[in-house]
Amino acid sequence: MEGAAMEHEAVNQAAAVGAPDDITGTAVVLYVVVEGGYEKSDELREEVRSKVGEEHGKPFGPQEVLFVDEFPKTQSGKSSDGPSRRPTPAKV
């Protein structure tokens, strides 16, 4: 899912995590770091969701696309485990 999202020119990084969902049990939340020069917007959110849906099928795409400024890094500057330690929305 992350790879499909990163095919969009405005996506610098992406990470998918599971979040509790009352209907399906687990919903996919896609965290996105936007490439410099692009603005975070509802339009971009839908473009990313659509891009992922094209590759994985619309029903299997993220239920939510959330923009973040950066992902956590280790002391050596490598990507940590992305937003998986961040609290996810209780209901998406």
Domain of 9, CATH number, reads 3.30.300.30
What percent of the chain stands above pLDDT 90? 61
Is 79 a member of any domain? no
Element (H, E) at 27: strand 25-34
Is 86 a member of any domain? no
pTM of the model: 0.79
Give the range of the structural domain holding residue 19, as residue numbers without chain letter: 2-72
Q: pLDDT of 26-58, one tens digit each?
A: 999 999 999 999 999 999 999 999 999 998 888
Question: What is the sign, positive or negative, of the torsion defined by CA atoms of 56, 51, 65, 34?
Answer: positive
Query: What local confidence, expressed as pLDDT, does residue 84 receive?
Result: 52
Q: Residue 91: is its pLDDT beyond 60?
A: no
Query: What local confidence, expressed as pLDDT, does residue 89 receive?
Result: 47
Q: Residue 82: is its pLDDT beyond 70?
A: no
Is 77 a member of any domain? no
Is 14 a member of any domain? yes
Q: What's the domain count of the chain?
A: 1
Is 13 a member of any domain? yes
Is 82 a member of any domain? no
Is 87 a member of any domain? no
Mean pLDDT score of the chain: 85
Cα separation, 53 vs 3, in Å, equals 12
Is 62 a member of any domain? yes
Using DSSP's 3-state secondary structure scheme, residue 88 falls into coil
Query: What local confidence, expressed as pLDDT, does residue 90 receive?
Result: 39
Cα separation, 79 vs 76, in Å, equals 9
Structural contact between residues 2 and 17, judged by C-beta atoms closer than 8 angstroms = no
